[in-house]
Copies of this chain bind each other. A is one copy, B any other.
């Protein structure tokens, strides 16, 4: 049995930077609004270092608030400052750039449309900068149903699928006199998706390693399944089942933006050990 890891897999620049900022902070307690990364293994390691996820600023009495890569609406930062919390901003630089873009668009009289998932924290953060009347568009049909606009300013959730972005953009071109479109899909994410697709097409089975509540990990699952190749999503090597690999010759592996290389390599070793027992 051969186990191949996708050419791009695992931690992205933004996540690496956020973890570095978290680990460099010398004065615990440090709080994050939700898990810093969508990966239970990493979260446990962080807890040992005094870095804890909470669900709102209200829960924090003292210490630091570390803003996750997804970013937050400006109101959250104000709230933390009013409570005299130290704010460590680990917003992904690309997401930070989107905040600036939508603020400008709003100032220049554009109605802002965010292509992405309305409940995703990244989109929630962007909406904090794009102002009232902003629209979130997740599906082609929603774009087609939009009332005609004069000036539409469009940004894209960094982890959106390129294909979905294109489908929605085309619909929006028919719903406005002017569409000012910023392609803000993260290049690293796009490359990871492309690498997953390429790998899925040549293997007998794909394993995606990552948090089950991670948006970019679930998109890798979706992309892989669309090729027709059987695909499993696991958070760690312990979830692997011997039976999956019976009769399979080539196994593909990849991981989401918040999956440490270590987790991917543990899965690789475990899969290889199944192969060695002759199953």
- CB within 8 Å of B: which residues of A? 162, 165-166, 169-170, 173-174, 176-183
Are A181 and B183 in contact (CB-based, < 8 A)?
Answer: no
Given contacts A166-B173, A178-B181, A179-B183, 15 further A-B contacts (CB under 8 A): A162-B174, A165-B173, A166-B170, A169-B169, A169-B170, A169-B173, A170-B170, A173-B181, A173-B183, A174-B183, A177-B182, A178-B182, A179-B179, A179-B181, A180-B180
Of the listed residues A179, A180, A181, A182, the one surrounded by the most CB atoms of chain B closer than 10 A to its CB is A181
Q: CB-CB < 8 A to A169: which residues of B? A: 169-170, 173
Give bound CA distance, A169 to B176, whole Å: 14
A155 to chain B, nearest CB (A): 10
Quick one: copies of this chain in the complex?
A: 2
Give bound CA distance, A8 to B110, whole Å: 34
Q: CB-CB < 8 A to A181: which residues of B? A: 173, 178-181
A183 to chain B, nearest CB (A): 5
Give bound CA distance, A179 to B173, whole Å: 11
Q: CB-CB < 8 A to A166: which residues of B? A: 170, 173
A181 to chain B, nearest CB (A): 5
A97 to chain B, nearest CB (A): 10
Please, could you name 15 A-B residue pairs with CB atoms under 8 Å apart, sorted by A? A162-B174, A165-B173, A166-B173, A169-B173, A170-B170, A173-B181, A173-B183, A177-B183, A178-B181, A178-B182, A179-B179, A179-B183, A180-B180, A180-B181, A181-B181
Q: Across the A-B interface, give the 4 residue pairs with the lowest CB-CB distance, nearest first.
A: A180-B180, A179-B181, A166-B170, A178-B182
